[in-house]
Structure 1
């Protein structure tokens, strides 16, 4: 999974098209009170066809949007011609003083380079965009090395290396009601996104959920492994938008070990691994620029994976996989699927403001128990933008999540106890509690302290270092710095 992985949680400069412009694409429409997305899971902006006049770039250090400024007019000059580029650095220091497999502290970081080409300005193709992004991942992951949990405590955690992420062409059609992307795509950029959970940093709790990360081959087309695919988005009416995407079924292809090492450069471009398909309907209430009521977003969706799956308990002869007489070959099953629902709702707006106040989020999804390691996932929480007087752009957030191990996988654990006669844990569920605060020190600089507590890492398993005990609940604290260069 990408954490073996997880969706990246940083400010998405994503540069799609012109970052200095805005295209009023029909969806996904976001309530105007939403905090600036702090996770890669947030949808990227669309291309611009008739951009407004650009404001002169700020030159003072603490006012400008980029640490390095306009490069003597180079950024704004290129943007005026339809070329935008971005560079973002995320650095984290974090540790677990208690629990997990071992205690300690680590550093991890992510450098992202991105470029967007607005083809309307470059060659006259209206609403056409080419987008490119790449990563340099460095440091070590706390979940992988210290905690051993399913829901990675940091969204940028991934195998070290330099790789291509997305490379796609996007075309707006039907007067802005339809747009299509084709190329190297990541589903977590647009699907299964909760805007209000974006401030939280646990990747598979509050970003792309742990259920598809564990159940889909190679974790699916998510950070840091995109894959060839096509995505269409249609604005059915003012409040309703539907999206659908079809991707190669396994970004790195089949094989043992870490899928991020099997496609270390991100350029496998595989097309013969079945399909991963996902569809989502989004209904927005009070989504205008100046809504009279409290804005909210309601989504339902489903995904389907066509490759063969395998029983979590039985072999191809019908015996338990724990039975000494078992063949060792799990029973083959047909494809896999999941359904989900999501809610993002502002519940209180501070008087006289547009984008400050309290909001809640909730997400739930399920998958068949017989063929999936995780059969149920839910998360939810509360965010408040502008909680501290005078800090209107800061966001405080608290979130909880639960990932339920499939009961069928738990039955296999019971079979192991029966046949071995040894004490072994029976996996149940993993939970996460997170508290965080985004301090916007400058337009280009985000400082984010974070606390997390992981209950039952991996659903309750034996400690690989000290097998006489289970992996213990873990407390994690950390600090993230995000700099837009």
Structure 2
């Protein structure tokens, strides 16, 4: 509950996920997706060269170049997938789900002469069923596009840059999984936990302002040095608030506390302006991040009630002990470790992401991702990627001890939640610049962290999920 071309930028939006994150494609750069979308329109004549143009519809009969003269870009991406559980979990079988993403941006300098301004509006159409809820019962979510079916507003913001683009401020409805806690290499994978990690998915109210949700807020980004960038933001503390649902995405809630988040990003061996990425084979690029978030809401204790008794105790009030505020510290690393020839696309990169939070107010106290991604694994397949990664979710001590209390009280084989580990192998095949196919396999160990969500006395078997995803940029 894991940057250059327009097609991969919008594939990022679809993958991020997940819960966004993912929604989120291997060549995407989530740190600044808005910059990727604000590109020049394709030249006229794009109705020819179907298999080589960047988008399926090309220049749309001249519409894209005409809009581009006024600073407007329009993109539509469809992500569809079929995933099947072959063993374990709640049941065997498969489900289809899909996501349509529409994004419109306007460069204010081209539109009406205001330098440094960028306006963005995006919407989602989520369809199909969710394999994880229907058939798995795992803590990890098999796909970064899984969400409740709806047609909804996603993001609505305005960004203004200052000081020769060294500082920019973004105001409006935002999904923070597009800029914070992101990993470039982790975006290769389908599982939500490689997009929007398990810890904020379970510990932030309503899963946090991440796909498919967003929240009103302000984000400031500043380039301290050429290598060091700082981001800080404050957002609504609960994207749903008191509403049980927000299918339209227009519940602009500001009544349920605040979420504060800050992140430092340090980039090494990045190519200079105008320099090719592979200009020097000894310069292997990497990005390292450290961050913290704090939520001012109140959070219930997973084990104790407001009198100090275990919630499993028959004498308990049933009202969880309340804790003021919640927080997490995290770190992310993306590093290329091998590139045999600077003039070729082939390279090997690794990523790692760890997060921790207090046991006494959270279901998940620790989560981690680790993986490796090989670009251009075969000769002539420069835009393909292959990856292998693992995600780990640790249940907090208070939630674990509540299960022990229930086991003792019921004198039965009540499941005790401990941790869950999922392994994913994936291959992305770039059919054309606008069409991507992805084969995927995932295996979850200790599914449900040791407890069946439908019947705590009946354990879940490990799950094995296989499937295929297709992403088309129109």
Normalised by the size of structure 2, how large is the TM-score? 0.91
SS at match of 1:159: coil
Matches within 5 A, 1:31-46: 35-37=26-28, 43-46=32-35
Q: Give the equivalent residue in structure 2 for 1:275.
A: 258
Is 2:217 the counterpart of 1:234?
Answer: no
Q: Which residue pairs with 1:222 in the alignment?
A: 210
Shift of 1:352: 3.5
Counterpart position of 1:399: 389
Say yes or no: does 1:450 pair with 2:433. Answer: no
Deviates more, 1:414-423 or 1:302-311: 414-423
Cα distance in 1 for residues equivalent to 2:377 and 2:99: 29
CA distance in 2, matches of 1:269, 1:150: 29
Q: State the Cα distance separating 1:467 from its structure 2 match.
A: 6.0
Give the aligned partner of residue 480 of structure 1: 469
For the residue of structure 2 that corresponds to 1:335, the secondary structure is strand
Pick from 346, 351, 358: which aligns with 1:361?
351
**Take 1:468 and 1:131, find their aligned partners in 2: how far apart are those partners?**
49
Give yes or no for contact 1:360–1:383 (8 Å, CA) kept in 2.
yes
Q: What SS does the aligned partner of 1:319 have?
A: coil
State the partner residue of 1:99. 88
What's 1:318 paired with?
308
1:427-473 deviation line (CA, Å, top 9, x unaligned): 00111100001100000000001000011222111362x66521211
Q: What is the distance in 2 between the residues matched to 1:45 and 1:68?
A: 21
Shift of 1:45: 3.4
Q: Please give the alpha-carbon distance, in whole angstroms, between the structure 2 residues aligned to 1:140 and 1:349.
A: 40
Is 1:432 equivalent to 2:429 in the alignment? no
State the partner residue of 2:17. Answer: none
Q: Is the 8 A contact 1:57 1:64 kept in 2?
A: no
The one of 159, 171, 176 equivalent to 1:187 is 176
Check if 1:169 corresponds to 2:152.
no
User: Compared with structure 1, are the counterparts of its residues 426 and 60 closer, same or farther at alpha carbon in structure 2 (3 Å cutoff)?
Assistant: same
1:284 equivalent in alignment to 2:264: no
Corresponding residue for 2:71? 82
Tell me the CA shift for residue 74 of structure 1: 0.9
Q: Which residue of 1 aligns with 2:115?
A: 126
Indicate whether 1:201 and 2:190 are aligned: yes
Query: Does residue 381 of the first structure (1) align with residue 371 of the second (2)?
Result: yes
Q: Report what 1:302 is aligned to.
A: 292
Q: CA RMSD in A?
A: 2.2
SS of residue paired to 1:334: strand
Report the secondary structure of 1:13's partner residue.
Answer: helix
Q: Which moved more, 1:354-363 or 1:142-151?
A: 354-363
For residue 114 of structure 1, give the secondary structure of its aligned residue in structure 2.
strand
The 1:114/1:212 distance shift into structure 2, 3 A limit, reads: same
Report the Cα distance in structure 2 between the residues aligned to 1:146 and 1:79, rounded to whole angstroms: 45
Partners of 2:12 and 2:412 in 1: how far apart? 55
Give the CA deviation at 1:56.
Answer: 5.5
Structure 2 counterpart of 1:409: 399
Partner of residue 238, structure 2:
250
Change (3 A) 1:14 1:461: closer
Partner of 2:33, secondary structure, is coil
Is the Cα–Cα contact under 8 Å of residues 48 and 127 in structure 1 kept in the other structure? no
Match of 2:20 in 1: none
More displaced stretch, 133-142 vs 286-295: 286-295
Q: Secondary structure at the match of 1:100?
A: coil
Cα distance in 2 for partners of 1:447, 1:412 equals: 44
Q: Distance in 1 between matches of 2:125 and 2:37?
A: 28
CA distance in 2, matches of 1:415, 1:266: 40
The 1:245/1:312 distance shift into structure 2, 3 A limit, reads same
- Seen in structure 2, the aligned counterparts of structure 1 residues 201 and 216 have a Cα distance that, compared at 3 Å, is same
1:153: which partner in 2?
142
Alpha-carbon distance in structure 1 between the residues aligned to 2:367 and 2:95: 28
Query: Aligned-pair distance for 1:80?
Result: 2.1
Would the aligned equivalents of 1:15 and 1:114 in 2 still touch at CA under 8 Å?
Answer: no
**SS across alignment from 1:307:** strand
Whether the 8 Å contact between 1:57 and 1:76 is mirrored in structure 2 is: no
SS in 1 for 2:287: strand
Q: Contact between 2:299 and 2:325, CA under 8 Å: does it hold in 1?
A: yes
Q: Structure 2: give runs of 5+ residues left out of the alignment.
A: 14-24
